[in-house]
Amino acid sequence: MKRLLVALALVLSACSAGGQDGPTTVTFWDNNGGPGRTPIYQELIKRFEAANPDIKIEYVGIPSSSVQQKYDTAIAGGSTPDVGGVTTSYLAHLVGQDALEPADDRIENGALKGKLLPGLLETVRQTAPDGKLYAVPASGNMDIIWYRSDRFEENKIPEPVTWDDLTKAAVQLTRPAENQYGFTIRGGAGSVFQLLSEAYSYSGVEKFYEGGKSTVADPRNAELVRKVAELYKKATPEADVNNSYTQMVAQFTGGTVAMMHHNLGSTADVMKALGPERVAAMPLPKGPSGKRTVVPNPTDGFAVFKGSKNRDASWKFVEFLTSAESNGYWNEKVGQIPANTDVRGAEWIQKNPAVKMALGVLEDPATVLVPAPVYLPEYSSITKTDTEPLYQKVLLGQMPAQEFLDQLAAKLTTAQQDWEKRK
């Protein structure tokens, strides 16, 4: 029996030593897995493992529609990944569960110091209640106006600079008898976030909250909502009142409308359908103040979970993903804004006017970022379930723009005050 126990101990010891000598496994959850993004990560993982043979990456692709629920379940069960893709739309939710490692010291003392776009860093910091950096930004997005440059040239209309320019051009380019409209409004799912981006770009209001109260109901914001509502059916298709992203893009790429407000995420669809010789991108126009105020889109990045047993290897992988080479490769494939500033001069950016334009806006010191309070647990339900039907009433002339914004502002103020108390 004694010899048996000694032999067993030697076997266990050998197994233990073998486990330590083998590659360290880092589990990585992609927060938007699918045919568009998974192959990009597979290539980057292959490169990382070739350069780091002592680390193996276990990739798990999760659809964006279910990733937050997957994270919640993993946190509750103590089975989180080592590294996870996250966006600022639910970053605060994860931070509130004390699930993530701050990245501040790792960045300050590593290769990424001074290499990340300040605007994207700021949007990540503002998401956390303590101002720490709980994710390393990797990819940014920005609301833009796609427009038919060929039609503008044919009609000798210059690229709009102000909202008044845009509304005037929308009317000029509308020919209902030919099924041609100057603009398309997103009146269905996802409409309010776009509308708020438009309102703040027009008003020049620089903060989403002032003195603890939402600034959404500022009369200057209401003025923009009225301007957009006045375009409905006058310079837009009647179907716009119910249109979500899919229908809106279909109208633009199909040639029915001359201008569409979306973001860089529709680059592939737009370019495939129309090509760079017929379409161009511009930032959301300015209002009477002349200021450039931008409501940032959620920032995509990577976080290391506190439950990771391989934190050094995990941070090494995150640092690799956000290095200039990897970050440039990723963002070139998806057509978005690279977080690593060393990518700024890459040839592909010079050949992508939309990304180049967006980078110029975000890097301009005169640009004011006005982050929406996506950290509020109620933000999504307030802006979607509660408010999208009301915006449709505004478009249909059944509710004044100011009343619409007053109701939205009241709910956002209450949600912010409740969040402050909990914090």
Q: Are 104 and 71 in contact (CB under 8 A)?
A: no
Rg over CA atoms, the chain: 24
Longest CA–CA separation in the chain, Å: 96
The pLDDT assigned to 1 comes to 44
Residue ranges with strand state E in 193-235:
209-210, 213-214
CB atoms within 10 A of CB 224: 23
For residue 71, the one-letter residue type is: Y
The pLDDT tens digits of the residues spanning 135-158 come to 999 999 999 999 999 999 999 999
Instruction: Tell me how far apart the alpha carbons of residues 247 and 266 are, in angstroms, rounded to a whole number.
Output: 12
User: For residue 231, what pLDDT is reported?
Assistant: 98
Contact call for residues 179 and 239 (beta carbons, < 8 A): no
Residue-wise pLDDT for 266-280, tens only, equals 988 899 999 999 999
> What is the C-alpha to C-alpha distance for residues 183 and 170, in angstroms, rounded to an integer?
5
- pTM of the entire structure? 0.85
Q: How far is CA 217 from CA 242, 264, 388, 400, in A?
A: 24, 28, 16, 12
> Using CB atoms within 10 A of its CB, is residue 392 exposed (0-12), middle (13-18) or buried (19+)?
middle
pLDDT of residue 21: 66
CB contact set of 245 (below 8 Å; sequence gap of 6+): 186, 189, 190, 262, 266
Say how many residues make up the chain.
Answer: 423
DSSP string, 79-125: ---SEEEEEHHHHHHHHHTT-B---HHHHHTSTTTT-B-HHHHHHHH
Yes or no: say if 151 and 258 are a contact pair by the CB < 8 Å rule.
yes
Is there a contact between 337 and 359 (Cβ–Cβ < 8 Å)? Answer: yes
Q: Could you write out the DSSP letters of every residue in 152-198?
A: HHHTT-PPP-BHHHHHHHHHHT-BGGGTBBS-B---STTHHHHHHHH
Counts of helices then strands in the chain (DSSP H, E) = 19, 13
Coil vs helix vs strand at 61: strand
More confident site: 403 or 22: 403
Dump pLDDT digits (tens) for 214-259: 999 999 999 999 999 999 999 999 999 999 999 999 999 999 999 9
Helix or strand (DSSP H, E) at 388: helix 388-395
Q: Which of 155, 140, 188, 172 is nearest to 335 (CA)?
A: 140
- For residue 3, is pLDDT > 60? no
Question: Quick one: what percent of the chain has pLDDT higher than 90?
Answer: 85
Buried b (16+ CB within 10 A) or exposed e, 315-336: bbbbbbbbbbebbbbbbbebbb
Rounded CA-CA distance 165/168 in Å is: 5
Task: Please give the order of strands across the beta sheet that includes 24-30.
Answer: 55-61, 24-30, 83-87, 300-304, 136-140, 337-338
Is residue 412 over pLDDT 60?
yes
Tokens 């978005």, located at residue: 336
Q: Is the pLDDT of residue 335 over 80?
A: yes
- Mean pLDDT, the chain, rounded, equals 92
Helix 118-125, helix 88-96: angle, nearest 10: 40
Q: Looking at the predicted structure, is the pLDDT value of residue 88 above 50? A: yes
Better-predicted residue by pLDDT, 46 or 359: 46
Name the residue among 136, 28, 46, 134 with its Cα closest to residue 82: 28
Q: What is the mean pLDDT of residues 52-75?
A: 95
Residues 241, 247: Cα–Cα separation, whole Å: 11
Q: pLDDT confidence of 374, banded at 50, 70, 90? A: confident
Q: Is the pLDDT of residue 326 over 70?
A: yes
For residue 144 the two structure tokens come to 């833009």
Q: Contact at 8 Å (CB) between 193 and 388?
A: no
Give the type of residue at 65.
S
Q: What is the reported pLDDT for 20?
A: 53
